[in-house]
């Protein structure tokens, strides 16, 4: 009988993932065994503490550069992105945990009850419940942490499912506008399932491609794929098809055109705190994976994928910018803006070398803070029917509540890339390396679409400040402490990263090297 | 004393003032005005000290300071002023207190917060000073873009008819130009070896193709800002809708950033491309002179008319810059100053007239001089200064531009001279239809038209009139400062002045 030897495991390196997963399991147990009224007061601190503990471990691991049990790479980008995801998740959790704005919070407990049935209406009116969101979010965070550190495609696939499934469910939990919420979840789930299937199929093809390596067994870890790209005897069709299918799976999560169609509907239908969570953290995770796959596994095929991904980037920027112009709903507008930002991020992904990598990572974190602050404001502008997301309802908001209108204006100026906001420094951080790498056309496309995109942002600013408040202008709810905290963190981060981006840039460029 | 960090203090001071003013309660508008005025006078005093400290025979760039900002990208807070920047800084420091004084009651009619209006004016002053004082391309770009924000709110929140449309148009036009420039800034950073320092960048050799593209990126931004034909359509709307004080700053100073940018960035950093593009630039400048003047003749809205006259004047400045002679260049910079004074005065006076009548349409006036003789007189003087009558400051600059251009490019000089005739047409006709002739009976029923200039308004116009006359007769203090900077710029471009014809003939 063969002696089965366990691979050496560096538990400290895995600690952030283990902590989040453990917290999620504890969260499920709390939901099952703790009396209803105690659940919320336990769940939120539990989730936040877990995030803080995981973050501490990330900081503790800061100098680690290793691949543990063959599938998890702990290196600069992993640690930076894990840290980014955790910090942004903490802010998102503050929004998710807010109960002062709406009685019982923005969530209901059961997603699958037929919308608008008496049962559904009863659960929408009931104050309590919906502690389920915390374990779901914690699982999703854990999945994202694995996703950005996965060093083979199979682990990456599992991580993809681990963080996607809770997100599908979270989308369906909105307390208001239940049909829209359920529709969003359904759409996200179906399209996400397709995307996963694409990813899996691409994985299989790549496995076949690596079989052509004479000296080592076939596999889907990135080192093997990297070696196979250089000297596999298999047909390159397998490589290209596999690469394309894997890319589709990832680009779907990143909301890049033409795989973006779910984004506006899901962003609109999902409960706003969850939308913020997706816009900030899912983006980090998806682009973290894209960076690793294209910079590590497919690095040798750079000349083959750059034109194609470049076209995707230009298309994404164009679709995001042009469609944003026509939107009349603030959440949909932010969704298209997030699509356009995916395009700018792709420019960073395609910029070769460490500068492109660090620029993209900087962009991800900076954008995450801004977008969380934006959705935090959206949760505050409400009337008797919940959030008032139609743009016409925002007319004259600057007169009614100048403070929140000013905050939102600042965020919009950041999105438009005005200097002294993080939007400007992050655009610089990706366009600079791209131009350095000779991707002039991508930068020009980025600049041109930024011009188009400025228009919808400006329209909202005009609405808020220069229009007279109408009868239907909703009031801004005084936020609870949690939303205020999230808003303050988001705005300060946007300002600081715009005025003094130095420290984070240092951190990013110090982290910009993958282990192989 | 020359070690004192003039430029950074000068830039930051209005911002501090803006914060103070913004924090004042909305119920204390008068206090806000007084604080804002006092603060802007403080800035003026500081800038006068700076002017006195300036060494005319000294280095090209003086008062240089540099502090690290974003070391990863080689960005520094670098401030330094050459003669061109110095006179523009002085112009700003002089204009802002006068604008604040002139706008004393402007904000009250708009139902908006009065302290916020004056805070925005001070923020605008900070960004305007910063854009001229910056010697780091990144820093310049930051000020260039941020400058839009206070102006946008000044127009959009406190403007007149069609203010929303005008504000958005202004913002989008400028932002589009700014983004072109951003692409060029990043490109310059890459080819220049990852530095933003102006001095370092001016010594970099750039390949011809890249140089032309980068020039174009910068030039489009500046041409929109200035504005040159055909990028000018935002200015009449913005100038027409902005409150008079903001319009005076918009046309008097903000737009000079465009021509200043061409002189400071386009010419020295991309000298070969500048020469290559010069015929085109001259062409659009000349078209602008004639075209805008013709449009100005046909305007029935006073503020729009003044805006169009400015576009024509910017054509003159453009001609002066791209003629590449010291005389024309000095004339262009002097024009930037004088135009700021003359058009600033014209805008402020027109604003006073419009505030009294409640309408900016020329056809709503007629014979107003009989009711408000002093105001009408000042309007007439401002008009004459604007058409460059000898004895007023703009004459000197226009003359310098034309003779400087004539020595190298006769057709352009000749066509540009036609602009002077058109200028006489639009100014005199405008003055005639508003203040001369038979009295429009409707005017007598308006209470406002019975009040001539009050003491505050006299304090606004008197310094400007004095400066216009003074510089009209004795421009030497200003030209002495400008000349070395222009000579250095022309050396950067690699052009020398043609020898006088008499000398050429003697040489034969």
**How many CB atoms are located within 10 Å of the residue A405 CB?**
23
Nearest chain B residue to A446 by CA: give it: B183
Task: Provide the number of structural domains found in chain A.
Answer: 1
CB contact under 8 A, A432 and B146: no
In the three-class reduction of DSSP (H, G, I as helix; E, B as strand; rest coil), residue B301 is classed as strand
CB contact under 8 A, A435 and B190: yes
* CB contacts, 8 Å: B149 with chain A: 413, 418
pLDDT tens column, A213-257: 877 888 888 888 988 888 888 888 999 999 999 999 999 999 998
Test mutation, A351, A353, A430, A432, chain B, max B CBs within 10 A: A432
Q: State the Cα–Cα distance between residues B472 and B398, nearest whole angstrom.
A: 11
Between chain A and chain B, how many beta carbons pairs sit less than 8 Å apart? Answer: 81
Residues of A with CB under 8 A from a CB of B: 413, 416-420, 424-425, 427-428, 431-432, 435-436, 440, 443-444, 447-448, 450-451, 454-455, 458-459, 462, 465-467, 500-502, 505-506, 509
Q: How confident is the model at residue A92 (pLDDT cuts 50, 70, 90)?
A: very high
CB contact under 8 A, B72 and A458: no
pLDDT tens column, B53-78: 888 888 888 888 888 888 888 888 98
Planar angle of CA B57, B61, B62, nearest 5 degrees: 75
Q: State the Cα–Cα distance between residues B465 and B342, nearest whole angstrom.
A: 8
Q: State the Cα–Cα distance between residues A452 and A322, nearest whole angstrom.
A: 7
* B20 φ/ψ angles, rounded to the nearest 5 degrees: -60, -50
User: How far is the alpha carbon of B424 from chain A, nearest alpha carbon, in Å?
Assistant: 38
Its pTM stands at 0.91
CB contact under 8 A, A466 and B149: no
Find all residues with CB under 8 Å of B503, minimum gap 6, and list them.
none
User: How far is the alpha carbon of B153 from chain A, nearest alpha carbon, in Å?
Assistant: 9
CB contact under 8 A, B71 and A502: yes
CB contact under 8 A, A451 and B145: no
Asked if B156 is an interface residue toward chain A (Cβ–Cβ < 8 A), one would say yes
Q: State the Cα–Cα distance between residues A102 and B368, nearest whole angstrom.
A: 62
Find all residues with CB under 8 Å of B502, minimum gap 6, and list them.
none
Distance of CA B143 to the CA centre of its chain: 15
CB contact under 8 A, B70 and A501: yes
Test mutation, A317, A325, A451, chain B, max B CBs within 10 A: A451
Nearest chain A residue to B176 by CA: give it: A451
User: What does the DSSP assignment read for B153-208?
Assistant: HHHHHH--TTHHHHHHHHHHHHHHHHHHHHHHHHHHHHHTTS--BHHHHHT----H
In the three-class reduction of DSSP (H, G, I as helix; E, B as strand; rest coil), residue A74 is classed as strand
Interface predicted TM-score of the whole assembly (ipTM), two decimals: 0.87
Whether residue A321 is contained in a domain is answered as yes
Asked if B23 is an interface residue toward chain A (Cβ–Cβ < 8 A), one would say no
The answer to whether B61 and B135 are in contact (CB under 8 A) is: yes
The low-confidence residues of chain B, meaning pLDDT below 70, are 1-2, 109-111, 499-508
* CB contacts, 8 Å: A503 with chain B: none
Which stretches of B393-454 are DSSP H helices?
A: 393-406, 410-435, 441-444
**How many CB atoms are located within 10 Å of the residue B298 CB?**
10
Query: A60-69, A366-375, B80-89, B101-110 — which one is most confidently predicted on average?
Result: A366-375
CB contact under 8 A, A458 and B172: yes
Q: Is the previous residue joined to B230 through a cis bond, with omega within 30 degrees of 0?
A: yes
Test mutation, A358, A362, A458, A507, chain B, max B CBs within 10 A: A458
CB contact under 8 A, A466 and B163: yes
Average pLDDT in the A276-286 region? 94
CB contact under 8 A, B172 and A454: yes
CB contact under 8 A, B183 and A447: yes
Q: State the Cα–Cα distance between residues A239 and A226, nearest whole angstrom.
A: 11
Percent of all residues in chain A with a pLDDT value above 90, rounded to a whole number:
56
Which pLDDT score, from 0 to 100, does residue A162 have? 94
Asked if B72 is an interface residue toward chain A (Cβ–Cβ < 8 A), one would say yes
In the three-class reduction of DSSP (H, G, I as helix; E, B as strand; rest coil), residue A326 is classed as helix
Distance of CA B188 to the CA centre of its chain: 26
* CB contacts, 8 Å: A420 with chain B: 142, 146
CB contact under 8 A, A462 and B168: yes
What is the residue extent of each domain of chain B? Answer: 271-502
Asked if B443 is an interface residue toward chain A (Cβ–Cβ < 8 A), one would say no
The residue among B442, B367, B422, B354 whose CA lies nearest residue B161 is B354
Query: A68-77, A136-145, B162-171, B191-200 — which one is most confidently predicted on average?
Result: A136-145
Find all residues with CB under 8 Å of A471, minimum gap 6, and list them.
none
Average pLDDT in the A175-191 region? 90
**What sign for the dihedral angle of Cα A366, A367, A370, A371?**
negative
Which pLDDT score, from 0 to 100, does residue A310 have? 93
Q: State the Cα–Cα distance between residues A146 and A289, nearest whole angstrom.
A: 10
The answer to whether B463 and B378 are in contact (CB under 8 A) is: no
The residue among A291, A337, A340 whose CA lies nearest residue A313 is A340
Which pLDDT score, from 0 to 100, does residue B1 have? 46
User: How far is the alpha carbon of A500 from chain B, nearest alpha carbon, in Å?
Assistant: 7
**A151: domain range?**
11-510
Average pLDDT in the A371-387 region? 87
Length, in residues, of chain A: 516
Q: State the Cα–Cα distance between residues B161 and B145, nearest whole angstrom.
A: 25
Residue with tokens 């401002």: B382
Test mutation, B137, B175, B180, B214, chain A, max A CBs within 10 A: B175
CB contact under 8 A, B167 and A462: yes
Asked if B146 is an interface residue toward chain A (Cβ–Cβ < 8 A), one would say yes
- Token readout for B375 is 């105001």
Q: Which of A330-334, A353-357, A463-467 is the least confident region? A: A463-467
* CB contacts, 8 Å: A455 with chain B: 172
* CB contacts, 8 Å: A459 with chain B: 168
Length, in residues, of chain B: 508
Asked if B182 is an interface residue toward chain A (Cβ–Cβ < 8 A), one would say yes
User: How far is the alpha carbon of A322 from chain B, nearest alpha carbon, in Å?
Assistant: 15
Q: Which of A125-134, A469-478, B433-442, B490-499 is the least confident region? A: A469-478
User: DSSP code of B380?
Assistant: H
The residue among B270, B263, B264 whose CA lies nearest residue B323 is B263
Which pLDDT score, from 0 to 100, does residue B503 have? 56
Test mutation, B186, B193, B218, chain A, max A CBs within 10 A: B186
Beta strand ranges found along A42-97 (DSSP E): 66-68, 72-74
| Pairing mode, strands B62-70 and B75-81 | antiparallel
Asked if B179 is an interface residue toward chain A (Cβ–Cβ < 8 A), one would say yes
Which pLDDT score, from 0 to 100, does residue A389 have? 84
Strand (E) or helix (H) holding B7: helix B6-23
CB contact under 8 A, A432 and B183: no
CB contact under 8 A, A455 and B172: yes
Asked if B326 is an interface residue toward chain A (Cβ–Cβ < 8 A), one would say no
Could you give the count of Cα atoms lying within 13 Å of A41 in the half-sphere of its Cβ? 5
Nearest chain B residue to A454 by CA: give it: B172
User: How far is the alpha carbon of B309 from chain A, nearest alpha carbon, in Å?
Assistant: 29
Q: Which of A118-132, A239-253, A493-507, B213-227 is the least confident region? A: A118-132
Nearest chain A residue to B154 by CA: give it: A466
Burial of residue A230 (CB within 10 Å: 0-12, 13-18, 19+) is exposed
């Amino acid at each position: 009988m063969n002696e089965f030897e366990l691979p050496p495991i560096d538990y400290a390196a895995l600690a952030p993932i283990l902590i989040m997963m453990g917290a999620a399991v504890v969260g499920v147990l709390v939901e099952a065994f703790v009396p209803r009224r105690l659940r919320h007061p336990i769940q939120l601190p539990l989730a936040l503490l877990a995030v803080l503990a995981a973050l501490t471990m990330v900081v503790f691991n800061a100098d680690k550069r290793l691949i543990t049990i063959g599938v998890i790479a702990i290196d600069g980008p992993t640690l930076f992105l894990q840290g980014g995801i955790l910090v942004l998740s903490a802010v998102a959790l503050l929004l998710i945990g807010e109960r002062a704005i709406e009685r019982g919070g923005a969530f209901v407990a059961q997603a699958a009850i037929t919308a608008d049935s008496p049962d559904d209406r009863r659960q929408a009116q009931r104050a309590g419940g919906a502690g389920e969101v915390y374990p779901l979010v914690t699982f999703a965070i854990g999945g994202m942490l694995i996703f950005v550190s996965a060093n083979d495609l199979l682990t990456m696939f599992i991580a993809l499912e681990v963080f996607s499934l809770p997100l599908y469910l979270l989308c369906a939990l909105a307390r208001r506008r239940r049909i829209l919420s359920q529709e969003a979840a359904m759409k996200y789930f179906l399209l996400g399932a397709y995307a996963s299937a694409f990813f899996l199929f691409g994985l299989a093809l790549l496995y076949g491609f690596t079989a052509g390596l004479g000296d080592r067994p076939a596999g889907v870890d990135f080192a093997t794929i990297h070696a196979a790209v250089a000297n596999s005897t298999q047909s390159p069709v397998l490589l290209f098809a596999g690469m394309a299918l894997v890319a589709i799976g990832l680009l779907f999560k990143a909301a890049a055109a033409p795989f973006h169609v779910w984004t506006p509907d899901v962003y609109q239908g999902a409960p706003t705190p969850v939308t913020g969570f997706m816009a900030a953290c899912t983006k980090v995770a998806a682009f973290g994976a894209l960076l690793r796959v294209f910079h590590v596994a497919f690095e040798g095929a750079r000349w083959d994928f750059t034109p194609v991904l470049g076209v995707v980037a230009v298309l994404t920027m164009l679709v995001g910018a042009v469609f944003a112009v026509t939107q009349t709903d603030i959440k949909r507008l932010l969704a298209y803006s997030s699509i356009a930002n995916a395009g700018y991020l792709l420019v960073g992904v395609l910029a070769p070398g460490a500068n492109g990598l660090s620029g993209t990572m900087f962009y991800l974190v900076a954008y995450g803070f801004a977008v969380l602050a934006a959705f935090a404001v959206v949760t505050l502008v409400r009337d008797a029917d919940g959030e008032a997301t139609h743009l016409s309802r925002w007319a004259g908001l600057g007169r009614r509540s100048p403070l929140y209108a000013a905050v939102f204006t600042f965020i919009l100026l950041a999105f438009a890339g005005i200097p002294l906001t993080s939007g400007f420094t992050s655009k610089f951080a990706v366009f600079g390396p791209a131009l350095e790498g000779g991707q002039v056309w991508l930068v020009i496309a980025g600049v041109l679409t930024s011009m188009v995109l400025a228009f919808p942002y400006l329209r909202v600013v005009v609405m808020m400040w220069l229009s007279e408040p109408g009868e239907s202008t909703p009031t801004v709810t005084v936020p609870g402490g949690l939303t205020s905290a999230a808003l303050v963190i988001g705005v300060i981060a946007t300002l600081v990263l715009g005025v003094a981006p130095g420290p984070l840039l240092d951190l990013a460029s110090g982290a910009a090297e993958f282990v192989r | 004393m020359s070690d004192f960090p003039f430029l950074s203090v000068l830039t930051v001071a209005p911002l501090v003032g803006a914060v103070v003013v913004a924090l004042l309660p909305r119920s204390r508008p008068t206090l806000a005005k007084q604080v804002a005025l006092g603060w802007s006078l403080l800035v003026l005093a500081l800038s006068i000290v700076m002017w006195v400290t300036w060494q005319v025979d000294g280095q090209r760039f003086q008062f240089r300071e540099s502090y690290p900002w974003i070391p990863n990208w080689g960005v520094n807070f670098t401030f330094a002023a050459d003669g061109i920047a110095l006179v523009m800084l002085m112009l700003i420091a002089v204009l802002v207190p006068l604008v604040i004084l002139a706008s004393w009651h402007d904000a009250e009619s708009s139902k908006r917060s009065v302290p916020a209006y004056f805070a925005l004016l001070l923020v605008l002053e900070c960004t305007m000073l910063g854009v001229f004082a910056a010697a780091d391309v990144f820093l310049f770009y930051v000020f260039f873009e941020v400058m839009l924000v206070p102006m946008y709110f000044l127009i959009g929140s406190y403007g007149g008819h069609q203010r929303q449309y005008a504000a958005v148009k202004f913002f989008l036009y400028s932002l589009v130009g700014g983004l072109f420039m951003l692409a060029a800034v990043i490109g310059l950073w890459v080819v220049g070896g990852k530095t933003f320092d102006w001095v370092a960048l001016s010594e970099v050799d750039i390949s011809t193709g890249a140089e032309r593209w980068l020039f174009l990126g910068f030039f489009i931004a500046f041409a929109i800002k200035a504005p040159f034909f055909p990028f000018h359509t935002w200015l009449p709307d913005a100038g027409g809708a902005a409150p008079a004080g903001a319009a005076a700053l918009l046309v008097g100073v903000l737009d000079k950033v465009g021509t200043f940018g061409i002189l400071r960035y386009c010419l020295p950093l991309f000298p070969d491309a500048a020469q290559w593009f010069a015929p085109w630039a001259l062409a659009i400048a000349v078209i602008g002179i004639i075209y805008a003047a013709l449009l100005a003749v046909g305007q029935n809205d006073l503020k729009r008319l003044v805006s169009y006259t400015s576009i024509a004047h910017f054509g003159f400045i453009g001609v002066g810059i791209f003629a590449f002679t010291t005389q024309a260049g000095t004339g262009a910079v002097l024009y930037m100053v004088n135009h700021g004074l003359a058009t600033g005065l014209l805008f402020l006076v027109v604003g006073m007239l419009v505030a009294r009548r409640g309408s900016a349409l020329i056809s709503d006036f007629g014979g107003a001089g009989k009711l408000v003789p002093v105001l009408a007189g000042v309007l007439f003087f401002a008009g004459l200064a604007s058409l460059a009558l000898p004895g007023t400051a703009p004459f000197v600059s226009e003359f310098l531009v034309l003779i400087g251009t004539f020595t190298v490019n006769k057709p352009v000089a000749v066509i540009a001279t036609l602009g002077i005739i058109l200028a006489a047409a639009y100014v005199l006709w405008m003055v005639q239809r508003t203040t001369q002739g038979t009295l429009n009976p409707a005017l007598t029923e308006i209470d406002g038209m019975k009040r001539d200039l009050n003491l505050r308004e006299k304090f606004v116009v008197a310094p400007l009139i004095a400066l216009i006359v003074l510089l009209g007769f004795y421009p030497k203090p200003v030209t002495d400062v400008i000349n070395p900077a222009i000579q250095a710029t022309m050396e950067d471009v690699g052009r020398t002045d043609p020898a006088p014809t008499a000398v050429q003939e003697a040489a034969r």
